[in-house]
Amino acid sequence: MPDDADDLRARVARLEAGAEIAQLPARYARAYATMDGPALGELYAHDTATESQGRGREAIAQRLADTGHGPAGLRTTILHPGGHVIEVDADDPTTASGHVHSRAEVERGDGTWYYQAIHYGDRYVFEEGRWRFHGVRDHELFYGVEHGGAPNRLPDAHWPERSVGRGSVPHRWSSWHAWTDGLPHREQTQPKEQ
């Protein structure tokens, strides 16, 4: 029955989309660990715009290379992606969005070590036969902290200006505002500027 076959084909396509998109954060982590710019570039749509390196996959590769030198450069990057929420767009099965929690450990060029708790807000697009990141990932910090330290009472990191400090989540989320507004009066957990 062709209707059943079409339905089944569509369901398998959705499963394949989910499985391929779930691969992207793991491949991203491997590309950062290995400092493999071309492999990282392949994970992105061909016209991806970067902040200061221009557009395209070579720009993505250059963006990674630019992090890899100097005392503050990413000498060792260990990314441990966790939960991945994936939502394929209902009206366009070739685009999707996602949320990824990730824990990072980083050795800087100067031998110092820090941790970050990260939320990535992602867009994905099916392009040239593969699912890819659509635009640079929206890397948001819960916090970054030096080895041996704790995030309590850290000032705002103003990420990406600084790697350690408090970040923009969860405070940016409307549900967090509703939560804090409903709490009995207590000390604010918002970071204070120092």
Partner 1 sequence: MNEPHDLVERVDRLEACEAIRQLAARHALLLDARDLTGLAELYVPDVQVPDGTVGRAALAAWFRDGLQPFGVTFHLVGGHVIDLDATDPDRATGSVSSRQEYEDGDRWMVVAAIEEDAYQRVEGRWRFASRTTHAFYGADLREHPLQAEDRWSFDEPPPGLTRDLPDRWPTWRAAWGGPAAEPRRA
State the Cα–Cα distance between residues 66 and 18, nearest whole angstrom: 31
Nearest to 100 by CA among 48, 27, 177: 27
Q: Give the one residue of 20, 35, 49, 101 binding partner 1; rule: CB under 8 A.
A: 101
Of the pair 46, 173, the CB lying nearest partner 1 is at: 173
Sign of the dihedral defined by the CA atoms of residues 163, 165, 169, 172, in that order: negative
Q: Which stretch binds partner 1 (CB under 8 A): 60-68, 122-130, 132-140, 175-183?
A: 175-183
Identify the DSSP state of 9: H
Is residue 96 a contact point for partner 1 (CB under 8 A)? no
Sign of the dihedral defined by the CA atoms of residues 56, 82, 121, 116, in that order: negative
Q: Give the one residue of 153, 161, 193, 194 binding partner 1; rule: CB under 8 A.
A: 153
**Contact footprint for partner 1 (CB under 8 A):** 4-5, 8, 11-12, 14-15, 18-19, 80, 82-86, 99, 101-103, 117, 119, 142-143, 145, 148-153, 169-170, 173, 175-176, 178-179, 182-184, 189
